[in-house]
Amino acid sequence: MFTAIGALALTGCSDGGDGKDKPEKSAGSDKGGSGVDLPKLDGEKLSVAAVWTGAEQANFVKVLKEFENRTGAKVTFVPAQDPIVNFLGTKIAGGQPPDVAMIPQVGAIQQAAQKKWAKPVGPEAKAQLAKNYSKVWQDLGAVDGTQYGVYFKAANKSLVWYNTKAFENAGAAEPKTWKDFLKTAETISASGVTPVSVGGADGWTLTDWFENVYLSQAGPEKYDQLAQHKIKWTDPSVKDALTTLAQLFGKPSLIAGGADGALQTEFPASVTQTFTGGDQPKAAMVYEGDFVGVNIAQTKAKIGTDAKVFPFPAVGAESPVVTGGDAAVALKDGKGAQALLTWLASTDAAKIMAEQGGFISPNKALDASAYPNEVQRTMAKALIAAGDSVRFDMSDQAPQSFGGTPGKGEWKTLQDFLKNPKDIAGTQAKLESDAAKAYKS
C-alpha cells in the first residue's frame, strides 16, 4: 500500500551528510552543477505543501533553502494531511492553494488535472525531466499527454531485507532468482530459523508480493494491462504468478507462524520480529520496500551490518522493480511555481536530499555516491537500473474499493489465498469479480 511510503525516513541509515546548510549564493539567475538555470525571484513568496513530517520534512526544507539561496525567493513549507487531494480541495475552495504540492499516487495527479487544479509543466522543467528522467517517470507525471508532475521522490518496493546473523549461521548467500530464493529459504529452515516473515494481517503487503512476482514473470506490458483491467484476473498470466507465489505460501514451515500466524502479523511486527531475538529471530527475511528501515530503526539492529538488503529475486529474466513516489505539481500560474518544478527536477536538488539519507531519487543523472551508505546506494541503483521497466504499485492504480480497502477486494482475496494457496482458480475468479465491479463503478 502506498500510504506506507509516506513513513519513509531511514534515519537509521544515515551515516553521512553533516546536515549543514549549503553555502549561500547570490540571488539571481543561477546555474548549478547540474546546469539548472533558475530565474531571479527576489522577494517572491512561495509555498510548498506535502504530507511529510519529521526528518523527511526537515531534509526537504534544506532543498527549499538552497532554492531560496539561488533565486532570492522565500519558500514556506505547508504541512498537509492525507488524503492530500482533500486537503488541497479545501485550500483551493478557500482561495489559498499552495504554489506547489507534493502529490503521491498517479490517480491523485490525474484527479488534480481533471479538476483543473494542476498547471502544466513549463519548458525549463521539461528540459530537466528530459535530461534526468527515464520516460516511465515522465509518463507517470503526465495526464493525456500533458506533463503535470515532476517526480522528486521514489520508493523501491522490490527489496528483501535479511538478518545477517541468521544468514551467516545457516551459510546462506543472497539469492538472485526465485528458485535460489526458495533454496535459500530451505537452507535457513534447516538451520533452525524460520526463513520468511509475512505481514499478512495487512493485505497491502500481499498485493506487493503478487505485483513483484507478476511483473518479473509476466513482464511490463502485461502488468500495465492488468493494472488497467484491460485483461482479466482470470488470465493465464495471473494463474502463473499465483502458482509461483504458492511455492512459498504453500509451505507453512517457511513462513513465521505459518499461514495463520502470518495473517495475525501486522507489517511493523513482520519487520521487528526479523531483527530481534539475537541468533534465533522469528524469521530471517522480510520482504517490503525501503521504508522497512523505519521499523528496523525501532530495534537494536544496525542497517548495513545486522540488517542488509537484496533485490526481489527474478522470477523471469529480470528482477522486478515496483515503485511509488511523490510528484511536485504546480497549482498556481507564475514564474515562481515553474522555477520550483525546474529546481526539483534537477540533479542539484536531488543530491541535497539524497545526502541526508532516507530518500531515493528517480533522477538517473544523480551519482549514487550522493547516498550516505551502501544499503541506500543498492536500493537507488536497482531503481535506476530498471529504467523504463519500473512500474508503479498496481493496487494503488486500481479503484480504492478493489486495491486499497481492508477486508475487501484484492486485500481480502489474497489473505484468503495465503490461507489456502491451492485454490488458485477460486482466487482468480474472486479477484476478477471484485475488479469488474470496482472498475465499472
Q: What is the pLDDT of residues 42-89, one digit of tens each?
A: 999 999 999 998 889 999 999 999 999 999 999 999 999 878 888 999
Is there a cis peptide before residue 83, judged by omega within 30 degrees of 0? Answer: yes
Average pLDDT over residues 24-39: 59
Q: How far is CA 120 from CA 95, 100, 227, 273, 379, in A?
A: 20, 12, 25, 46, 31
Cα gap 429→289, rounded to integer Å? 29
What is d(CA 123, CA 199) in angstroms, rounded to the nearest whole number?
44
What is the model's pLDDT at position 29?
44
pLDDT interval class at 160 (50, 70, 90): very high
**pLDDT surpasses 50 at 17:** no
pLDDT score of 16: 33
Provide the pLDDT for residue 291.
Answer: 86
Model confidence pLDDT, tens digit, residues 220-256: 999 999 999 999 999 999 999 999 999 999 999 999 9
Average pLDDT over residues 178-202: 98
Matching residue, cell 521497466:
389
Of the listed ranges 1-15, 252-266, 328-342, 356-370, the one predicted with least confidence: 1-15
Check if the beta carbon of residue 224 is closer than 8 Å to that of residue 391: yes
At 31 the pLDDT is 53
Torsion of CA 132, 134, 139, 145, to 10 degrees: 70
Q: Is 276 left (phi over 0), alpha (psi -120 to 50) or beta?
A: beta
The 10s digit of each residue's pLDDT in 252-274 is: 999 999 999 999 999 999 999 99
The phi and psi torsions of 158 (rounded to 5 degrees) equal: -130, 60
User: pLDDT (tens digit, 9 = 90+) per residue, 343-387?
Assistant: 999 999 999 999 988 899 999 999 999 999 888 898 999 999 999
Distances (CA, A) of 153 to 103, 150, 307, 323, 426: 10, 9, 23, 10, 38
Stronger pLDDT, 24 or 323, i.e. the higher one? 323
Q: How many of the other CB atoms lie within 10 Å of CB of 332? A: 15
Helix (H) or strand (E) holding 7: none
Q: Where are the alpha helices (DSSP H) in 80-145?
A: 84-93, 106-114, 123-132, 135-140
Which domains are assigned to the chain? Answer: 2-156+323-392 (3.40.190.10), 159-320+398-440 (3.40.190.10)
Query: How does pLDDT run across 391-440, given as a tens digit for each residue?
Result: 999 998 888 789 988 999 999 999 999 999 999 999 999 999 999 999 99
Residue 3: pLDDT band with limits 50, 70, 90: very low
For 279-309, how does the pLDDT look when each residue is reduced to its tens digit (9 = 90+)?
Answer: 899 999 999 998 898 899 889 999 999 999 9
Mean pLDDT of 16-41: 54
Rg (CA), the chain: 22
Please report which residue ranges of 134-257 form alpha helices under DSSP H. 135-140, 164-170, 178-190, 203-218, 220-227, 236-249
User: What average pLDDT does the structure give for the chain?
Assistant: 91
Position 201: which residue type? A
